[in-house]
Structure 1
């Protein structure tokens, strides 16, 4: 799955941009999951942001201390919600501290932009360039950029890629100095999917599972070295 975050401070226009970006991606033929992050819970009355999200996407999820979408009580992390998404693309409104995906930032000045982690930004939404970051109000253009450059890392912070955490790899991907293929949790010799969704495993867990499975299979009559496929309903 590919992903983009829309980050900015309160009343900056994050919701409107996330909605318009989701709609523009759908016009490209992509199915979209919209995720809204809130520190204050969710108001589900008509004409609220949450109601507008439901009208503008193929799937909507949200997480907050006061409750979460998908009928879960209490807060759930984004990592717990993502496996439920069955779409091509995920648009996250909010999530300033998450370093799992690139972002579009909304800021009126350089100081604000620096607080929004511009090293993860593909572009800024606005009228004036921020430092070396391109700024535009062309949502269709932004959709074309993120449809090609969007990505989502697993957030395991395992260090298998040689960086301290997933944010370090994400920054290098945005800078063009790495790719998602460098994520060892997503690209190793053991690939697991649950319900059609990839289940990432850090290199240590991958080695344990791989060695254990091969050791058990080696005790079965007819076993021979080679690629192994196991399917569990």
Structure 2
């Protein structure tokens, strides 16, 4: 799964753009999921699950056409990804998520300037606004083309194993075509873990330790031979 965030000032039209972009990408045959970050909380429209949520550590909702899990705490986007089944994830808000590229939704330069919007991570500006190094895009179709080519997702571990200080630095280099997603060693080839099709980032130290333990275990099994091992585990 690849991802991109939609960032802009309050009431700049982020949701409107996100919905239109999701529709365009879905028409292209892609499975699209969305995540929204808010500082104001979400209204519980189902009063029964809202009542349960006052006393429970989590609430599962099951209906004929939808399902959801509600927790009374912020789990963090990276922990929620195994529950998402999509080709493209559109993230509205979360300007602090430096491990995602982003689209800036702007009609004019805000009074606070651009730094808080993370322009070094931007692959496009939606609107007729000239910002050095960031292509302006005026149509959703053009924007969908860029998303298909430029969307990616780093694990957000900030482990530094790639030689950079954090995932944000690597993401900015990828946006600038100075690095590739393969430069993230937490998504390395020696040991990879997928849950429900979502590849998880693993700290290189944990990778090495776990891989060594698994190799030692496999060598004790009858029929062992060197090669690529596939282990299936229900968690």
Q: Please classify the TM superposition score into its range, dividing by the shorter chain length.
A: 0.7 to 0.9
- Residue 128 of structure 2 contacts residue 136 of structure 2 at CA under 8 Å; is this kept in 1? yes
| Structure 1 runs, 4 residues or longer, greater than 3 Å off | none
Structure 1 residue 90 and structure 2 residue 93: aligned?
no
Q: Which residue matches 2:40?
A: 40
Distance 1:187 1:141, change over 3 A: same
Q: Which moved more, 1:81-90 or 1:220-229?
A: 220-229
Aligned to 2:221: 220
RMSD (Å) for aligned C-alpha atoms: 2.0
User: What residue number does 1:128 align with?
Assistant: 129
Give TM-score scaled by structure 1 length.
Answer: 0.84
Partner-residue secondary structure (3-state), 1:19: helix
Question: What residue in structure 1 maps to residue 165 of structure 2?
Answer: 164
Q: Which segments of 5 or more consecutive residues in structure 1 lack a partner in the other structure? A: 46-59, 62-68
Mapping 1:1-233, distance limit 5 Å: 1-43=1-43, 70-107=69-106, 108-109=108-109, 112-233=113-234
**How far does the alpha carbon of each residue in 1:138-195 deviate from its partner, in whole angstroms, 9 at most, with x for none?**
1110011111110011111111211111111100100001111111111231122223
- The match for 1:49 is none
Cross-structure match for 2:60? none
Alpha-carbon contact 2:82-2:197 (below 8 Å) kept:
no
1:53 alignment partner in structure 2? none
In 1: Cα distance, 2:133 partner to 2:198 partner: 36
Separation in structure 2 between the aligned mates of residue 97 and residue 225 of structure 1, nearest angstrom = 43
How far residue 112 of structure 1 moved from its aligned partner, in angstroms, is: 3.1
User: How much does 1:44 deviate?
Assistant: 5.3
Query: Residue 186 of structure 2: SS of its match in structure 1?
Result: coil
TM-score, normalised via structure 2 length: 0.84
Give, in angstroms, the shift of residue 103 of structure 1: 0.4
Distance in 1, matches of 2:223 and 2:104, equals 57
